Amino acid sequence: MNPLIPSDRDWPEDSSDENGNYLSHCSSCGLTFIGHKRRYICRKCQREHDAWWAAMSPEERERKKAENERATQEMFKKLFKTLDKDEQV
Ligand SMILES: [Zn+2]
Taking only the tens place, the pLDDT of each residue in 32-85 is: 999 999 999 999 999 999 999 999 999 999 999 999 999 999 999 999 988 777
pLDDT of residue 89: 53
For the entire predicted model, the pTM comes to 0.71
pLDDT digits (tens, 9 = 90+) for 3-27: 567 799 999 999 999 999 999 999 9
Centroid of ligand 1 to alpha carbon of 43 (angstroms): 7
Classify burial at 48, counting beta carbons within 10 Å of its beta carbon; exposed 0-12, middle 13-18, buried 19 or more: middle
- Residues at Cβ < 5 Å from ligand 1 ion: 26, 28-29, 42, 45
Q: Ligand 1 centre and the CA of 29: distance in Å?
A: 4
* CA 78, 84, 86, 89 torsion-angle sign: negative
Q: How confident is the model at residue 1 (pLDDT cuts 50, 70, 90)?
A: low
pLDDT confidence of residue 88: 59
Q: What share of the chain is helix, strand, coil (3-state, %, to 5)?
A: 50, 10, 40
Per-domain residue ranges for the chain? 12-88
